[in-house]
Amino acid sequence: MVTAHELRVGLIEPLTDDSFLLGFAVPPQLRDAFAYRAGQYVTIQTELTPGNLERRSYSICRPPRQAWPDDPDADGLLVIGVKVLPGGRFSEWARDHLRVGDTLTVLTPTGRFTVRDDSPGRSYGALVAGSGITPVMALVGDVLETNPTATFVLHLINRGPDQVMFARHLEQAQRRWPDRLRVVHHWSRTPGPDGTAAGRITDDALVELLRTETADGVSEWFLCGPQPLVVRSQAALAELGIGRRLVHTELFHTG
């Protein structure tokens, strides 16, 4: 049962020009209530104007066992990633007004964007766009920390290199698990620092990407991004014989 509690803000840390980490201190008496699985989310509710209750859901980016991200400022906190969207009532308010020490009403974690099969030697894949990386950060850290023979490949779509949320944390993770984590960047507008061409992933390229990774052993997928990308990817994986129970999806919601 999901319940609401007042939590103190313990961390606000920039990620990019338009995104930041937001961490909540969970008191000892609420730790069981706020226990979560990697991939789950919390909902924040607040009155930005009198009588108008705003609710926004944000994925938890910190692995449950706190193995990663390797950031001492986030130690012991429940941490989410917030993307500031133009006209987003809560995200713009949080960026402009929220401070460490403030309190917010946070609902206990929920969600099914979680690992289905954690048997040894599994290979996991994720295809995400923009802030869709947020729940996958928790999944990557949790899977690679707790399953020493598992591997993870992450295909990450952004407009350009300066838009990558968790860039520093991804680099840390690749150094920590160099043989078990592979990160592939796709740039839609700005070429990458290594000269990688920019452009939208076509339907044919998407199918080929998923076919190649599936042939290489990826058997459980996480898709998070705008609806057209998720729907196209889901259909392609179905054609490749990956059952629906092993394809997890989440869609963007603005605000």
Q: Distance between CA 219 and CA 122 in Å, rounded?
A: 7
Q: Distance between CA 103 and CA 110 in Å, rounded?
A: 21
Per-residue model confidence (pLDDT) at position 243: 87
pLDDT tens for the chain, 255 residues long, are 899 999 999 999 999 999 999 999 999 999 999 999 999 999 999 988 888 889 999 999 999 976 444 555 566 799 999 999 998 899 999 999 999 999 999 999 999 999 999 999 999 999 999 999 999 999 999 999 999 999 999 999 999 999 999 999 999 999 999 999 999 999 987 765 655 656 778 888 999 999 999 999 999 999 999 999 999 999 999 999 998 899 999 987 655
Domain ranges for the chain, please list them: 4-107, 123-251
Per-residue model confidence (pLDDT) at position 67: 47
Burial class (CB in 10 A: 0-12, 13-18, 19+), 253: exposed
Q: What is the pLDDT of residues 116-157, one digit of tens each?
A: 999 999 999 999 999 999 999 999 999 999 999 999 999 999
Per-residue model confidence (pLDDT) at position 5: 97
Q: Which residues pair with 131 in a beta bridge?
A: none
CATH class of the domain comprising 123-251: alpha beta
CA angle 212, 217, 218 (to 5 degrees): 80
Burial class (CB in 10 A: 0-12, 13-18, 19+), 24: buried
Q: Which CATH number describes the domain made up of 4-107?
A: 2.40.30.10
